[in-house]
Amino acid sequence: MTVTIKTPQEQDKMRVAGRLAADVLDMIGDYVKPGITTGELDSICHEFITTVQDATPAPLNYRGFPKSICTSVNHVVCHGIPGEKKLKSGDAVNIDITVIKDGYHGDTSRMFFVGKPSVQAQRLAEVAFEGMWRGIEELAPGKHLGDVGEAIQSFVEKQRFSVVREYCGHGIGRVFHEDPQVLHYGTRGSGIELREGMTLTVEPMINAGKRQVRLLNDGWTVVTKDHSLSAQWEHTVLITDTGYEVLTLGNSDR
Ligand code: MF3
Ligand code: CO
Ligand code: CO
């Protein structure tokens, strides 16, 4: 396993890429309304990333992925492919944006509600959000990746929701998915020790029902096996000398 340490110059490029990815999510929120298709959301983001940001949407053609963003609706856990599906009131959709700028990646996702969510969908999204932050708050030099996983898992399971095991966060930089794997479950003190200059994502997928997932025949779409709702949030984070810096904060968080 090779975990890359980013130089101060590379860290600056990661800051730029991270901000651009967050800007796309800030931009697309207003379009998430009943009747819009996930394919239309993809087109709007693609146009914004390539034209306004002069950046590259990392998912497009990544290992054969056919679109520029991921849209994961309701019981879709992750990697939903944008298409003809019209969003309707009550849907909960995760939009996951990864941009490449000046050779570096920024990766972030949020939950959006179409109209008014059910009590359960709202609660699930809140727990996924809080779980992500509990994980991020563990990040500092000398801490272990297992501390992150344990913080997320113990919080989420106390709320009687489950943590998906098959997909995880990751190192990120010039490469979209690099070492290490950032598990969203685990044991304190286990896993690699964190060092200043590492850049990682924290992106827990949380299910209302059982943790098991199934991959659809399209080779990408991951759904909950029991068809229960799933929620996810993601930030790209830099390990600093004293702790962490979140590189993908939105307009309202900075
Ligand atoms: N953005 C996803 C992640 O958080 C990866 C999407 S890969 C794709 O790691 F090919 F589906 F786009
Ligand atoms: Co990611
Ligand atoms: Co992502």
Q: Are 21 and 236 in contact (CB under 8 A)?
A: yes
pLDDT of 148-163, one tens digit each?
Answer: 999 999 999 999 999 9
Can you tell me the distance from the alpha carbon of 75 to that of 80, in angstroms, rounded to the nearest whole number? 10
Residue 171 — very low, low, confident or very high, per pLDDT cuts 50/70/90? very high
Domains of the chain: 8-248 (3.90.230.10)
The pLDDT of residue 114 is 98
Q: How wide is the angle at C-alpha 211 spanned by C-alphas 119 and 233, nearest 5°?
A: 60
pLDDT of 214-239, one tens digit each?
Answer: 999 999 999 999 999 999 999 999 99
Report which of 122, 94, 101 is spatially closest to residue 58, judged by C-alpha positions. 101
Burial of 116 (0-12, 13-18, 19+ CB in 10 A): exposed
Q: In whole numbers, what is the pLDDT of the chain averaged over residues?
A: 98
Measured by CA distance, the residue closest to atom 12 of ligand 1 is 59
76 C-beta closer than 6 A to ligand 1: no
What is the whole-number distance in angstroms between the Cα of residue 80 and the centre of ligand 2?
A: 14
pLDDT of 17-52, one tens digit each?
Answer: 999 999 999 999 999 999 999 999 999 999 999 999
Instruction: Give me 74's structure tokens.
Output: 């309701």
Report which of 6, 44, 43 is spatially closest to residue 27, judged by C-alpha positions. 44
